[in-house]
Structure 1
Amino acid sequence: MSRYACWLEPSIVHEWVQLMQRYDASYDTGTLHLALQWQESCRDTRQVRQLVSQRLQNPTPLPCVWSRSDLHGQKNYAIDHCFPWSRWNNNDLWNLLPTTEKANQAKSDRLPAADVMQRAKLDILHWWQCLDDNATICQQFRDEAAVALPLATPTSPLDAIFNSALLQRQRLKANQQLAEWVGIT
């Protein structure tokens, strides 16, 4: 398959365009080809970085989800993809977590172990509550979780969304054999 992969996708797309053209001839093949063009996703944490910056204006502690250090006391902070971008291209709000730079570098592109996530549960839920309380992004946060996480719905309580994230973590571990991160030592 890998030897012929460069030929398979264009052939499948072309056949699909031909089939769609037969259903509705009003669309030209160029329009159909454009509609089926694969959009490369890019790693993007700007939205969450802006949300963290806004949240840091409030003196209430904002803990790093992995080290529990208050981000107010940090010169710099990082936005971590809980499930590594390198293995699962996902910029959803629920997957982007505020961390210290040290914790983010230590975790790198590894999957947090289940017990690490359990230890971080309260801080993850605290961050998600901040997102859920924000009227401008609440619906985005809930919709993204419902689409990406098994058993999550747009009306699921945050605790149920967390359990769905644990299930997705287990799936990623099993399906991709990802290296696990056991936390900051």
Structure 2
Amino acid sequence: INESFRRISTIIERDSKDTTYKFALLRAVIEISQEYEHLKREEENRVVFPTGLIVEKWLLYYYPLVESSKFIPQKNGEKNEETRQISFRKKFEEITSFYRDKGGFSAFWSDYQSQTIPEQVEKTLTTLVKNLYNTITKMPMRYIGGSISNREYSIFKFSRTPGRYSVKGQLNSQLLIDSFGSFSFEKHFFNVFQYLGSFISGEDSLLYKWAKFSVRADTKGELTVEGALKKLGTIPETERLTRRASTAYKGLFTEQKFLKCTWSGKLVKDFGSLHIDHIIPFAVWKNNDLWNLIPVRGSVNLEKRDRVPLPEFIEQKREDIMFYWDVLRSRYRQQFDRQLFVSVTGEKLVETDWKEVGLEGLKEKCDYLINTRGIEGWKLQ
């Protein structure tokens, strides 16, 4: 691990950088290693992940930067309304312009997650994700590691799906996974990313250097490191994305006149005192998927805070969690199944055992966060 960490540090410090692509690639691979281990497969001494996961991460990273009213350069010498721009800015600007008066970043991400991208920008978004894929595989994947090797694709390798990529239908996470083949890297790097990735991508390294690059590339001298960091840390708001779960639970409450708190098991007869809790806290993993949203008493949610439920506690509450999964799945089946597959199971859901498979995957996620990442575990006393 020490040698792998040294090589990564050398890449961050010494690799030549004309754009922010290498920062974005490393940030994405670190987060994918920590969040999507269930989608990993191993081939000899390498680990393999879907390339579509990087494409989705880049949508998240670059949207706030492109959307910003103050131009934030992502390439040396990049300026607004000039030809020398990052390869996907023009198409990205068409998306951000469309959503500017429709709720912005959060509205876009909500439409993407729920497969409701408007027809006016559907083709533009499809073109954009293809542009992102081409940029990722032909630029940073190809050249990263140049400070420690003269070979191209020395760190990451990629393979396309048979017949090259083809994106058909409403875009969503699973379609990106199915459409863009896979990429691989050596297992020892994966181990470093799992254990130390959060430190590597933190403000003292990747994000901070990304922000400093943007400031240096700003020829007008208007951008600050703090301003760039703020944009780099922008995420879609949670309220819009949790509304669907809240609507489903409110419908059930109207029928029953009560709901059971998932964690305490106590009946709640005042809907206003219920909170929608992220099983895995949003502060730990910025995930608003339906499977991660359950109703709990407000007081219990305040006690849990940003702690991760212990796997044995999830096992104790399996029936209540599965019950609420049924409620959400009956209402938003396609979205629920797709999100559970992408974020938890890595395998298509089978009617007979999807809940058991999902719960086991959830427990494995929590175990990793507690015992590998060192995040505090929790159970209701």
Provide TM-score, normalisation by structure 2.
Answer: 0.40
Q: 1:72 aligned to 263, 269, 287, which one?
A: 269
Structure 2 counterparts to residues 19-58 of structure 1, below 5 A: 29=85, 32-33=88-89, 34=92, 35=128, 40-44=235-239, 45-58=242-255
- 1:43 Cα deviation (Å)? 2.4
Is 1:149 the counterpart of 2:344? The answer is: yes
* Residue pair 1:43, 1:89 contacting (<8 A) in 2 also: no
User: Deviation string for 1:76-133 (max 9, x for gaps)?
Assistant: 1000000011010000000011101011111010001122111111100110111222
For 1:9 and 1:41, the matched residues in 2 are separated by 28
Cα distance in 1, alignment partners of residues 236 and 18 from structure 2: 18
Question: Is 1:123–2:132 an aligned residue pair?
Answer: no
Match of 1:11 in 2: 20
Structure 2 letter corresponding to 1:57: T
CA RMSD of aligned residues (A): 3.4
State the partner residue of 2:299.
Answer: 102
CA–CA separation in structure 1 for the residues paired with 2:261 and 2:366: 20
**Deviation digits for residues 15-38 of structure 1 (CA, Å, limit 9, x no counterpart):** x999xxxxxxxxx95561335597
1:168 aligns with 2:177: no
1:181 aligns with 2:190: no
Contact 2:258 2:271 (C-alpha < 8 Å) held by counterparts:
no
Q: Which has the larger radius of gyration?
A: 2
Where do 5+ consecutive residues of structure 2 fail to align? 1-8, 26-73, 76-83, 93-127, 133-230
Contact 1:145/1:153, CA 8 A, preserved across alignment:
no
Amino acid at match of 1:146: F
The alignment's TM-score, normalised by the length of structure 1, stands at: 0.77
Alignment of 1:128-139 (within 5 A): 128-134=325-331, 137-139=332-334
Identity of paired residues, percent? 21
Instruction: State whether residues 245 and 328 of structure 2, in contact with CA within 8 Å, keep that contact through their aligned partners in structure 1.
Output: no
Runs in 1 of length 4+ with deviation above 6 angstroms?
none
Structure 1 gap ranges (5+): 19-27
Q: Residues 80 and 13 from structure 1, CA distance in 2 versus in 1: closer, same or farther, beyond 3 angstroms?
A: same
Q: What's the counterpart of residue 278 of structure 2? A: 81
